[in-house]
Chain A
Amino acid sequence: MGLDNAGCAGREALAYSQAMPPRAFADADPDDPGDEALMLAYAAGDAAAFDALYARRKGGVYRYLVRHCGNAGAADELFQDVWMNVIRARATYAPNAKFATWLYRIAHNRLVDHWRTHARAEFVATDVDGDEPDPLAFVAGARGDEPEVRAGAREQGQRIDVALSRLPPAQREAFLLHQEGGLELADIAALTGAGIETVKSRLRYALAKLRLELADLR
């Protein structure tokens, strides 16, 4: 089973997200309103709050989806669905948890629905730990199999996709939530239904593998 990354391969050099990474943003300016405040402001009718919130989170969510589905077209569709769900759920939003956790839960559920619809079974083995060899981990990603020679800036993205595609789904999920979404271990554990230690283990394995795969990026 290969990952179809043709859509992503056709994308030209993508501008870097104007939003700062969530983790860096959280530490940057304590006077800056949090995601929860922005969401509440948007629910109260402040469209500018949504603009700011979207600018902060759109890159992480989009990359999370692209890395998972490997298809830019499908990722675009999922991305739009996720944010439309956010817009529709503005009236019922309650800051019981971090906004990022709520947002990525929506994205995660939408991704699961997408795979169910397309008969993909990647998330069936969510309890597969990184200790055991994952058969999908040895399947080369479609992007790596493409004959075209990527040039310039796209080469790094391709290598990341290849490296991620070789990760077990559970490890990839934990890594992407941690790296792109900026979620903490407890949030990832709550979102994926696994224990914190399990999530921690998955993250360690995923990072170790990626370091080996992407050693030359450093």
Chain B
Amino acid sequence: MTTDRPDPSSDSLRDPRFDAAWREASREAPPAALDAAILAAARRAVGAGPQPVAVREATRPERWWWPLAAAASIGAVAVGILQVSGLDQARAPDPKRAIVSDMPAEPPPAAQGSQDKAAGRDGRMDFYGIMPSLPNDAVRRAPAPPVSAMAENAAPTSPDPAPANVMAKLVADPSAAEAAPATEATRAGGQRNPPTAPPATTPALAAIAPRAGSGISASPDSVQPFPADATPAGAAERDGARAKALGKVMSAPGAAARAEAQAKERAPLPVAEWIVLIRKLRAEGRTEALAREVAAFRAAYPDQEHLLVDLPSGGEPPPPPAR
């Protein structure tokens, strides 16, 4: 096989006739589908870039009500939180108040041990073994104190001190009695409402009954009007003497006016407390203070005068003896 070796020395790199013949013969072109695909790809590549925003609506938020919806949602959540927290506060037990349990008293240790064994606690882990067994029923197992003891215990922690203590202070320090009304008024707080229950006959109930806010109220059946039937037999004579003394005091010039003025200045005590105070003053023979309190009581509770029937002459201080 031989080849015709062309002459390299020929200087014609460009032959117009050959070029024309070549161009005429070489007409291959890419298929139209390929052209379309490439041109479409080129347009897509250019069009993929960010386009200028000509329409103003495109920059406007489509959902203009979103801020309103967000504000409404936040408001609803806030209201819900406030309500839930209010309920929690309302349900939270007041640590100053006595807890009254209606569960039976704590069983003896032997029985308690058997209960623990039965419950599988045994002082180690609870049923799930996750955390030490907390005495969930400790409150239920706690011994329920008797009512009288409860009343005694509750007295110092009660928001309003026991009337006996208040009265004792008033009796011990007459000067403090004048300053007491303001402090008593502030301490009594919402206890302004006159108690609905008349004073109790037993000492425990008498101590409990004024504390209507403590949640403990005496049964209406167990209370009696102030003039107790158990008045000692010789009390009449004593009452008579005290009434005389009281009448002296009250008949003193300006005494009644002073008492009324003091009573007006001082906020009135609850009826039961006042009655207890009056009875205490009478028992101690402090006629001057007694007269002042009686006058104040009448001024404050004119419709409760019937509670003073045990006082001589219907509570009225006896008229000064004629000289």
Residues of A bordering B, CB below 8 Å: 8, 11, 13-17, 21, 42, 45-47, 50-51, 54, 58-59, 62-63, 66, 76, 79-80, 83-84, 87-88, 90, 130-131, 133, 137-138, 153, 156-157, 159-160, 178-180, 200-201, 203-205, 207-212, 214, 217-218
Q: What would 20 more interface pairs be, CB under 8 Å, given A50-B46, A76-B31?
A: A42-B46, A47-B46, A58-B35, A59-B28, A62-B29, A63-B26, A79-B30, A80-B37, A80-B38, A87-B38, A88-B45, A133-B3, A153-B27, A157-B25, A157-B27, A160-B22, A204-B8, A205-B8, A207-B13, A214-B18
For the complex formed, measure the closest distance between the CB of A67 and the CB atoms of chain B, giving whole angstroms.
8
Q: A47-B43, A50-B39, A87-B42 are in contact. Are A76 and B30 (CB under 8 A)?
A: yes
Q: A16-B29, A84-B41, A160-B25 are in contact. Are A179 and B17 (CB under 8 A)?
A: no
B21 at the interface (CB under 8 A from A): yes
Asked if residues B34 and A76 are in contact (CB atoms below 8 Å), the reply is yes
Which residues of chain B from 230 to 251 have any CB-CB distance to chain A below 8 Å in the complex? none
Which residues of A sit under 8 angstroms from B6, Cβ to Cβ? 204-205, 207-209, 211-212
B221 at the interface (CB under 8 A from A): no
Asked if residues A138 and B38 are in contact (CB atoms below 8 Å), the reply is no
Asked if residues A217 and B43 are in contact (CB atoms below 8 Å), the reply is no
Residue of A nearest to B11 (CB): A204
- Alpha-carbon distance between A157 and B17 when the two chains are bound, in angstroms: 17
Which residues of B sit under 8 angstroms from A214, Cβ to Cβ? 18, 21-22, 25
Residue of B nearest to A203 (CB): B13
B1 at the interface (CB under 8 A from A): yes
- Alpha-carbon distance between A201 and B9 when the two chains are bound, in angstroms: 9
Which residues of chain B from 91 to 132 have any CB-CB distance to chain A below 8 Å in the complex? none
- Alpha-carbon distance between A153 and B1 when the two chains are bound, in angstroms: 30
B23 at the interface (CB under 8 A from A): yes
Asked if residues A160 and B38 are in contact (CB atoms below 8 Å), the reply is no
Which residues of A sit under 8 angstroms from B49, Cβ to Cβ? 45
Q: Report which of B18, B23, B47 forms a contact with A21, defined as CB distance below 8 A.
A: B23
Asked if residues B22 and A16 are in contact (CB atoms below 8 Å), the reply is no
- Alpha-carbon distance between A160 and B17 when the two chains are bound, in angstroms: 15
For the complex formed, measure the closest distance between the CB of A69 and the CB atoms of chain B, giving whole angstroms.
12
Asked if residues B1 and A138 are in contact (CB atoms below 8 Å), the reply is yes
B88 at the interface (CB under 8 A from A): no
Residue of B nearest to A178 (CB): B13
Q: Report which of B8, B26, B38 forms a contact with A201, defined as CB distance below 8 A.
A: B8
- Alpha-carbon distance between A23 and B147 when the two chains are bound, in angstroms: 119
Which residues of B sit under 8 angstroms from A130, Cβ to Cβ? 8
Which residues of B sit under 8 angstroms from A159, Cβ to Cβ? 25
Which residues of A sit under 8 angstroms from B25, Cβ to Cβ? 156-157, 159-160, 214, 217
Which residues of chain B from 42 to 64 have any CB-CB distance to chain A below 8 Å in the complex? 42-43, 45-47, 49
- Alpha-carbon distance between A94 and B27 when the two chains are bound, in angstroms: 31
Asked if residues A83 and B45 are in contact (CB atoms below 8 Å), the reply is no
- Alpha-carbon distance between A179 and B20 when the two chains are bound, in angstroms: 11
- Alpha-carbon distance between A96 and B26 when the two chains are bound, in angstroms: 31
B136 at the interface (CB under 8 A from A): no
Which residues of A sit under 8 angstroms from B34, Cβ to Cβ? 76, 79-80
Q: A50-B39, A51-B39, A87-B41 are in contact. Are A157 and B22 (CB under 8 A)?
A: no
Which residues of A sit under 8 angstroms from B29, Cβ to Cβ? 14-17, 58-59, 62
